[in-house]
């Protein structure tokens, strides 16, 4: 029976149906094979309940905050700040990109959003500065996966809903791994910059200019502080902090930077709705397939298979990481989460792995898979924006994938990296 | 016989052109209405959520209906938004195969794909309508707004029906374009 499911899924995916419909249609096909009509109405209920949750409401607000910031040209100010801070070294522009991605990640919740904004904005500039389009695109695509790891994060919200883990703990736990990812990408830039003789971006470090850029960027930097601070102190739930972030982003764009008009609002709201719906419909449809697999006891079988081979914590972690890498190579991240969080989270807990730690490792691995050829979603998005062929990006991105994997392994086997901040602050 | 077909085919194709023109107009309007609903829905969600945070934070008060309203709006906009995103071609998909084929083959493949979606959506619409017609759903009302549970659930089949209409348009336009490219036989 599972064979049928995998076959239907693979065929529809390759034919090129939207992922959401692939998941839903596979779920329904599975129900037909199971053949019990009393299950049919439940499929509709599963779609509804998949998105009927208070925490999910944070997702549209994080997307909206990003759309407002982008329209209000707040991102420009972040680039100015990052350039003044780190532009003076060899390969300064490349470092700037990583730094901007890290700050932007603390505002936007998803890798696709970060990649789309930065590719459109920075790749032409990088090419002017003598970086190859392939390197520029793959660098930005890689930096974008810091997006789901540094809070706020759509990925963490979905994980928390699916696994019943604390969103706040995941948000705090993501800070150190996110910074580690940034540093690991900078190491790659350092190695490449020496070989390729990349230029500097600014002449020297000028503290005055740094301070000036900081003052200009301050309203934009307040947003992550409010989000993380609000959650940290327990003042806001993630959903509330998302709504507040929208308000601040709007005030900053309208009254401080004076780039937003009231008449921009309908298109901003419309865009947000389309981007969010595309994510939510994947979650809704994925929730059907996740449930039909559960009817067929697939999670149970996988769990028995893994726990039957070994009960060693480290070995289980490695097995799950391998499985996720494989899944992530062929499946969109949110779809993979809806189906596989309910499968793997209980196994990890049974093996005695801390649930927050595992949530972080899971999200990290699935994010690195976003830039893993052949089928990395963020690679597709970046390639679409910049027009650099996928094959070329796929080659350039490999060093970044490897350093991302190194961070995954580090975080997987050093739980303190994740658990330190939550245990200190919550 | 030849004369008959010569007279018959232009008449049929005129009819087809006429019907397709109507369908195009209709789906165009439908997309606009959907978009308007999304903008209004997201505007309402944001304003209500903000008022709710401020009220709770500064006055320690909260409406018991506002959280539910935002939740239901998110569900409604997801299925309407999914349909509009489908029409705009902005749903995520793997286009590796579609991009590698020649223009005509990829047109044929996309007609096949939309036909699969059509079947899937008709099935889902039936399930959705059956679901909301159940007495247990029809008679139940939500705890916050006191709204019949039929209403938030109804947005699922509404979204599916929108997708069906967009689907039919995609399929008909696709078939027309295939013929423009020189027929299936070539």
Residue pLDDT, tens place only, A324-345: 988 887 777 888 898 889 889 9
**A343 CB-near residues (< 8 Å, 6+ apart):** A293, A298, A299, A302, A303
Give the residue carrying structure tokens 């947003």: A223
Report the chain B residue with the minimal C-alpha distance to residue A27.
B120
- The whole-angstrom separation of Cα B78 and Cα B84 is 10
Report percent pLDDT > 90 for chain B. 48
For residues B27-39, give the mean pLDDT. Answer: 96
- The whole-angstrom separation of Cα A239 and Cα A58 is 4
- The whole-angstrom separation of Cα A247 and Cα B51 is 11
Residue B119 pLDDT more than 50?
yes
For residues A251-276, give the mean pLDDT. Answer: 90
| pTM, to two decimals | 0.86
State residue B93 phi and psi, 5-degree precision: -150, 160
What pLDDT sits at residue A204? 77
What pLDDT sits at residue B8? 62
The model's confidence at residue A8, banded by pLDDT at 50, 70 and 90, is: very high
Residue B1 pLDDT more than 60?
no
Distance from CA of A57 to the nearest CA of B (A): 7
| Chain A interface includes B57 (CB < 8 A) | yes
Report the chain B residue with the minimal C-alpha distance to residue A21.
B117
Contact assignment for B82 to A64 by CB distance below 8 Å: no
Find chain B residues with C-beta within 8 A of A239's C-beta.
Answer: 49
State residue A149 phi and psi, 5-degree precision: -100, -40
- The whole-angstrom separation of Cα A372 and Cα A380 is 11
CB A129 within 8 A of CB A93: yes
CB pairs under 8 A between A and B: 165
Looking at chain B from residue 164 to 183, which residues have their Cβ under 8 Å from any Cβ of chain A? none
Measured CA angle at A270 (ends B28, A76), to 5 deg:
135
What pLDDT sits at residue A103? 83
Which of A159-168, A177-186, A238-247 is predicted most confidently?
A177-186
Q: A90-104, A158-172, A292-306, B132-146 — which is least confidently predicted?
A: B132-146
DSSP assignment string, A172-240: HHTHHHHHHHHHHHHHHHHHHHHHHTPPPSSSS--HHHHHHHHHHHHHHHHHHHHHHHHHHTTSS-HHH
Contacts 24+ apart (CB under 8 A), A187-196: A187/A403, A188/A399, A188/A400, A188/A403, A189/A91, A189/A94, A189/A95, A189/A98, A189/A139, A190/A91, A191/A399, A192/A91, A192/A94, A192/A135, A192/A399, A193/A90, A193/A91, A193/A94, A194/A90
Contact assignment for A44 to B77 by CB distance below 8 Å: no
- The whole-angstrom separation of Cα B164 and Cα A27 is 19
Which of A80-84, B76-80, B94-98, B137-141 is predicted most confidently?
B76-80
- Report which of residues A42 and B13 the model is more confident about: A42
Distance from CA of B7 to the nearest CA of A (A): 39
Residue A146 pLDDT more than 70?
yes
- Ramachandran class of B141: left when φ > 0, alpha when ψ lies in -120 to 50, beta otherwise: beta
Residue A105 pLDDT more than 70?
yes
Task: State chain B's mean pLDDT as an integer.
Answer: 86
How many Cα atoms sit within 13 Å of A141 on the Cβ side?
Answer: 35
What pLDDT sits at residue B48? 92
B184, with CB counted inside 10 A (0-12, 13-18, 19+), is: exposed
Give the residue carrying structure tokens 């597709």: A380
Q: A308-312, A315-319, B124-128 — which is least confidently predicted?
A: A308-312
Give the residue carrying structure tokens 């730690």: A357
Find chain B residues with C-beta within 8 A of A14's C-beta.
Answer: 94, 96-97
Note the ipTM here: 0.88
Report percent pLDDT > 70 for chain A. 100
- The whole-angstrom separation of Cα A181 and Cα A185 is 6
The model's confidence at residue A252, banded by pLDDT at 50, 70 and 90, is: confident
The model's confidence at residue B84, banded by pLDDT at 50, 70 and 90, is: very high
Measured from the Cβ of residue A262, the count of other Cβ atoms closer than 10 Å reads 8
Residue A216 pLDDT more than 90?
no
Residue A281 pLDDT more than 90?
yes
Residue B176 pLDDT more than 80?
yes
Dihedral angle, C-alpha A290, A294, A298, A302, nearest 10 °: 80
The model's confidence at residue B186, banded by pLDDT at 50, 70 and 90, is: very low
Find chain B residues with C-beta within 8 A of A26's C-beta.
Answer: none
Distance from CA of A20 to the nearest CA of B (A): 8
Report the chain B residue with the minimal C-alpha distance to residue A49.
B75
Report the chain B residue with the minimal C-alpha distance to residue A112.
B92
DSSP assignment string, A140-176: HHHHHTTTTTSSS-HHHHHHHHHHT--HHHHHHHTHH
- Report which of residues A377 and A29 the model is more confident about: A29
How many Cα atoms sit within 13 Å of A306 on the Cβ side?
Answer: 25
Find chain B residues with C-beta within 8 A of A375's C-beta.
Answer: 94, 96
The model's confidence at residue B25, banded by pLDDT at 50, 70 and 90, is: very high
For residues B36-64, give the mean pLDDT. Answer: 87
CB B74 within 8 A of CB A56: yes
Cα distances (Å, whole numbers) of residue A419 to A215, A358, B4, B55, B175: 33, 10, 81, 34, 57
Distance from CA of B4 to the nearest CA of A (A): 40
Residue B163 pLDDT more than 90?
yes
CB A382 within 8 A of CB A393: yes
Measured from the Cβ of residue A160, the count of other Cβ atoms closer than 10 Å reads 26
The model's confidence at residue B183, banded by pLDDT at 50, 70 and 90, is: low
- The whole-angstrom separation of Cα A190 and Cα A121 is 23
Closest CA to A426 of A58, A171, A240: A171
pLDDT tens figures, A110-133: 787 788 888 888 888 888 888 899
Distance from CA of A391 to the nearest CA of B (A): 11
What pLDDT sits at residue A288? 92
| Chain A interface includes B93 (CB < 8 A) | yes
Distance from CA of B9 to the nearest CA of A (A): 33
For residues B115-120, give the mean pLDDT. Answer: 96
Alpha-carbon radius of gyration of chain B: 22
CB B179 within 8 A of CB B137: no
- Ramachandran class of A198: left when φ > 0, alpha when ψ lies in -120 to 50, beta otherwise: beta
Residue A271 pLDDT more than 70?
yes
SS3 of A319-370: the string is: HHHHHHHHHHHHCCHHHHHHHHHHHHHHHHHHCCCCHHHHHHHHHHHHHHHC
Find chain A residues with C-beta within 8 A of B90's C-beta.
Answer: 274, 278
CB A244 within 8 A of CB B53: yes
Q: A150-164, A280-294, B9-23 — which is least confidently predicted?
A: B9-23
CB B178 within 8 A of CB B186: no
What pLDDT sits at residue B32? 96
- The whole-angstrom separation of Cα A417 and Cα A400 is 21
Contact assignment for A15 to B112 by CB distance below 8 Å: yes
The model's confidence at residue A317, banded by pLDDT at 50, 70 and 90, is: very high
- The whole-angstrom separation of Cα A336 and Cα A338 is 6
CB A101 within 8 A of CB A147: yes
Nearest CB to B50; choose among A15, A51, A247: A247
What pLDDT sits at residue A304? 86
**A323 CB-near residues (< 8 Å, 6+ apart):** A340, A344
DSSP assignment string, A50-107: HH--TGGGHHHHHHHHHHHHHHTTHHHHHHHHHHHHHTTSTTHHHHHHHHHHHHHHTT
What pLDDT sits at residue A222? 83
Beta bridge partners of B93: A18
Report the chain A residue with the minimal C-alpha distance to residue B85.
A274
Find chain A residues with C-beta within 8 A of B124's C-beta.
Answer: 24, 28, 43-44
Report the chain B residue with the minimal C-alpha distance to residue A276.
B78
What pLDDT sits at residue B73? 94
Chain centre to alpha carbon of residue A275: 14
CB A272 within 8 A of CB A60: yes
Task: State chain A's mean pLDDT as an integer.
Answer: 87
């Amino acid at each position: 029976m599972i064979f049928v499911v995998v076959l239907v899924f693979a065929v529809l995916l390759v034919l090129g149906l939207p992922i959401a419909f692939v998941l839903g249609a596979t779920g329904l096909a599975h129900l037909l094979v199971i053949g019990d009509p009393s299950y049919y109405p439940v499929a509709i209920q599963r779609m509804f309940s998949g998105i009927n949750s208070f925490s999910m409401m944070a997702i549209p607000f994080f997307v909206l905050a990003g759309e407002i910031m982008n329209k209000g040209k707040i991102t420009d100010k972040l680039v100015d700040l990052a350039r003044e801070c780190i532009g003076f070294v060899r390969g300064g522009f490349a470092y700037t990109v990583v730094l901007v991605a890290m700050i932007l990640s603390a505002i936007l919740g998803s890798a696709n959003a970060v990649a789309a904004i930065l590719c459109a904005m920075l790749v032409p500039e990088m090419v002017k500065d003598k970086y190859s389009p392939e390197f520029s695109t793959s660098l930005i695509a890689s930096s974008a996966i810091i997006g789901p790891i540094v809070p706020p994060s759509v990925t963490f919200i979905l994980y928390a809903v699916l696994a019943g883990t604390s969103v706040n703990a995941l948000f705090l736990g993501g800070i150190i791994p996110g910074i580690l990812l940034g540093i690991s990408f900078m190491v790659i830039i350092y190695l490449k910059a020496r070989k390729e003789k990349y230029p500097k971006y600014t002449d020297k470090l000028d503290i005055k200019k740094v301070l000036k850029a900081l003052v200009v960027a301050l309203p934009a930097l307040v947003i992550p502080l409010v989000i993380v601070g609000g959650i940290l102190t327990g003042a806001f739930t993630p959903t509330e902090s998302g709504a507040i972030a929208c308000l601040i982003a709007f005030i900053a764009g309208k009254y401080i930077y004076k780039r937003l008009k009231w008449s921009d609002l309908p298109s901003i709201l419309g865009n947000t709705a389309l981007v969010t719906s595309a994510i939510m419909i994947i979650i809704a449809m994925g929730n059907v397939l996740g449930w039909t697999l559960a009817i067929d006891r697939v999670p149970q079988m996988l769990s028995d298979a893994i726990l039957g081979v070994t009960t060693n914590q480290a070995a289980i972690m490695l097995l799950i990481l391998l499985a996720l890498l494989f899944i992530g190579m062929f499946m969109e991240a949110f779809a993979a989460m809806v189906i596989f969080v309910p499968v793997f989270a209980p196994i990890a807990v049974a093996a005695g792995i801390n649930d927050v730690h595992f949530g972080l490792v899971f999200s990290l691995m699935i994010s690195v898979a976003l830039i893993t050829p052949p089928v990395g979603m963020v690679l597709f998005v970046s390639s679409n924006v910049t027009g650099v062929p996928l094959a070329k990006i796929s080659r350039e991105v490999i060093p970044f994938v490897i350093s991302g994997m190194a961070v995954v392994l580090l975080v997987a086997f050093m739980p303190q990296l994740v658990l330190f901040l939550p245990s200190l602050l919550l | 016989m030849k004369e008959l077909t010569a007279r018959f085919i232009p008449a049929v194709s005129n009819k087809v052109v006429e019907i397709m023109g109507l369908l195009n107009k209709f789906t165009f309007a439908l997309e606009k209405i959907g978009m308007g609903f999304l903008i209004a829905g997201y505007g309402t969600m944001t304003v209500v959520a903000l008022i709710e945070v401020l009220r709770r934070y500064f006055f320690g008060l909260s409406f018991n209906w506002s959280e539910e309203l935002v939740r239901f709006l998110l569900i409604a906009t997801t299925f309407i938004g999914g349909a509009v995103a489908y029409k705009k071609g902005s749903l995520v998909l793997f286009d590796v195969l579609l991009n590698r084929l020649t223009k005509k083959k990829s047109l044929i493949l996309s007609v096949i794909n939309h036909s699969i979606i059509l079947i899937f959506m008709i099935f889902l619409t039936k399930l959705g309508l059956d679901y909301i017609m159940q007495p247990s759903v029809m008679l139940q009302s939500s705890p916050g707004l006191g709204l019949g549970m039929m209403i938030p659930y109804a947005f699922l089949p509404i979204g599916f029906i929108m997708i069906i209409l967009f689907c039919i348009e995609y399929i008909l336009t696709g078939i027309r374009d295939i013929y423009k490219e020189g027929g299936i036989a070539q």
